[in-house]
Every structure is written in C-alpha cells, then in structure tokens.
Structure 1
C-alpha cells in the first residue's frame, strides 16, 4: 500500500508570514558562508605577497565591492538578529521552579554580542 503524500507547492513559504521570514533567514546563511569564504581568501592573500595583498585591498575599494559588502552586512545582520531572537525559544532556562523570561535571555545574548564586538574593535583599532 502506498502512503498518501499531500502535494506541496513550490511557493509554500509565501503563504504565511512566519514561513517567509524563516526562508529568508535560511537564505541569509549563504551570505554568512560567502563572507567566511571571502575572509579565508583575504587571509591567504595577506600571507602570499605584498603585491597580492595590495591588489586585494585595491579591489576592495571599488564601488561594486562596497555595494556587495553593504548587501552582505545587511543580510548577516538580519541573520544574527533573527538567530538571537530564537535563542529564548530554543534554550528554555529555569531558576528553581520559575522560568527565566525570554527578554532576559535575549538581552543577555545581545549584551554578550555587544561586549565581544567592543573587545574585537578595541583589539583591531590598537586599543
């Protein structure tokens, strides 16, 4: 006997707002992976030679590169924010019998993100 499989359209994710935002968040993972790949290439070029590094830096100053970085930044920021907002739903914490509020968990994640960002900025800028 064959099991019945309900047909699902290719646009199922457009039918409800939460589905749409879920698919968009998953799509932004491509930008996260792409930027990680870019950073690996950047590190490799920085270690190759001064000419290779200078060529890469020059290409990063082009308008196309600026636009691509802005688009990537926007998608990566959206990905991070939506992921951090999911944290309280994924990680349910209790203090004794009482559940810790979602806002407190999300706030702790955002605070950690800010502190780590400040430390990295301080290290990069020569604090």
Structure 2
C-alpha cells in the first residue's frame, strides 16, 4: 500500500509571508558560506607573497567587488538579525518559576553582538 502524498507546488513558499521570509533566510546562508570561503582564500593569499596580497587588495577596490561586498553584507546582516530574533524561541529560559521575557533574551544577544563588534572594530582600527 502506497502512502498518499499531497502534491506541493514549487512556489509553496510564496503563498505565505512567514514561509517567504523563512526561505529567504535560508537562502542568505549561501552568502554566509560564500563569504567564509572568500575569507579563507584571502588568508591563503595573504600568506603566499606580498605580490599576491597586493593583487588581491587591488581587486577588492574594483566597483564590482564593492557591489558584491555590499550585497553580501546586506544578506549576511539579514541572516544575523533573523537568527538573533529566533533566539528567544529556541532558548526558553526560566528564572525560578517565571519565564524570562523574549525581549530580554533578544536584547542580550543584540547587546553581545554590538559589544563584540565594537571590540573587533577597535582592534582592527588600531585602538
């Protein structure tokens, strides 16, 4: 006996706003992975020679590279924000018998993100 499988269209994710934003968030994972790959190549080129590093830096100054980085940044930022907004749903914390409010959990995550970003920026910019 074969189980019945309800047919699902290829555009199922366009039928509902939450589904749409879910699929978009999953799609942004490709940009996160792509940028990680870029950083690995960047580190490898930086260790090769000064010429390879200089060539890479020069290519990063091109308009196409700037546009690609801006697009990647936008998708990665969207991915991070939607992921952080999921944190209170994933981590249900209690203090005694009372549940810690979702806004407090999300706020702590955003605050941590901000502090770590400031520290990294300070280190990179020669603080």
Instruction: Classify the secondary structure of the residue corresponding to 1:79.
Output: helix
Instruction: Classify the secondary structure of the residue corresponding to 1:106.
Output: helix
Instruction: Classify the secondary structure of the residue corresponding to 2:2.
Output: coil
CA-CA distance at 1:126 after TM superposition = 1.2
1:8-55 residue CA offsets vs partner (Å, 9 max, x unmatched):
000000000000000000000000000000000000000000000000
1:91-110 residue CA offsets vs partner (Å, 9 max, x unmatched):
10000000000000000000
Matched, 1:85 2:74: no
| Unmatched tracts of structure 2, length 5 or more | none
1:42-96 residue CA offsets vs partner (Å, 9 max, x unmatched):
0000000000000000000000000000000000000000000000001100000
Give the alignment's TM-score, normalised by structure 1.
0.99
Q: Which residue of 2 aligns with 1:54?
A: 54
Give the alignment's TM-score, normalised by structure 2.
0.99
Stretch deviating more after TM superposition (117-126 or 30-39): 117-126
| Unmatched tracts of structure 1, length 5 or more | none
Q: 1-side partners of 2:88 and 2:47: how far apart? A: 41
Q: Return structure 1 stretches of 4+ with deviation > 2 angstroms.
A: none
Give the aligned length.
127
